[in-house]
Amino acid sequence: MAGRASTIGLLLCIAALTGCGDRFPDYNYKMTVHAGGQQFSSVRHVEVTEGMSIISRKVEGEAVVIDRNGRTYYALLSRPENADYAAFVAGMALGDHVPRDDPQRSEVQQAIDEWYEERSTQDSFGEAAEFLQAMVKVEGAQDLPRTLPPRRNREPTQAWPMFVTFSNPSDPRTVSEVSPEAIGVDRITIEITDEDVTTGIEKRLPNFGPESGFQAWARDLEFDDPIRSVLGGFRQE
């Protein structure tokens, strides 16, 4: 009877594909910016959802707030060339630490994988699922390389976040990009964590509302000006 109950439980988990063992697990990660012997961190949550033909990721979290040299800097959630940067950056740091074979998968996870294999002649997301399952098990903080090497037809990719500051903390139109060297950034690390998502950044930011004039100001910037992308880089939910 106990064995039958266990089997039924497995089948229910597989049918739901959530709660008991989604093959694309959600996770929290902490980004820590190391600068001049100080550490500044932010915890984000990534929700991963598998659809019929796409894997979607939704981020909840904030930019890293860095208080140094009498100024406040922000390591943004987005980059000019990648609005979804925060959803993928954990893999940039942890990918090299992911074992390609994971013999310690749970009974539930193995059953889910077998369920997919039996019902699909070509599981195009199988490798991605296995990678994510292993990635969320990587322990400890790992260095985020500043640049990812070229791969296939892809040019070298900037892996560090975009940094900005406000020359007038009350005026969003005074935002400007800052180099890591100007802040004194030594390294950046990423780690999987069970800590709560960081909140409260709105208390540190200027008002971006209509009365601030920011939207009109931003529209007048050159089309390829990276500052055009900053508004979505402070907080996502």
Closest CA to 130 of 159, 95, 154: 95
Range of the domain at 52: 2-236
Helix (H, G, I), strand (E, B) or coil at 106: coil
Range list of β-strands (E), 36-117? 38-50, 55-62, 64-68, 71-75
Q: What is the CA radius of gyration of the chain?
A: 21
- Answer for the pair 32, 41: CB distance below 8 angstroms, yes or no: yes
* pLDDT at residue 107, as a whole number: 57
Whether this model's pTM surpasses 0.85: no
* pLDDT at residue 8, as a whole number: 43
Sheet of 64-68: strands edge to edge?
Answer: 64-68, 71-75, 163-166, 175-178
| Number of structural domains found in the chain | 1
Closest CA to 194 of 128, 109, 136, 144: 136
H helix count then E strand count, the chain: 6, 12
- In what helix (H) or strand (E) does residue 165 lie, and over which residues does it extend? strand 163-166
Helical ranges in the chain per DSSP H:
2-16, 85-94, 107-119, 126-135, 180-183, 214-219
Give the C-alpha separation, 69 to 180, whole Å. Answer: 13
Q: Kind of pairing, strands 235-236 and 55-62? A: antiparallel
pLDDT along the chain (237 residues), means of 10: 47 42 87 97 95 86 96 96 94 88 54 49 69 93 93 83 96 96 97 98 94 91 88 92
* pLDDT at residue 128, as a whole number: 84
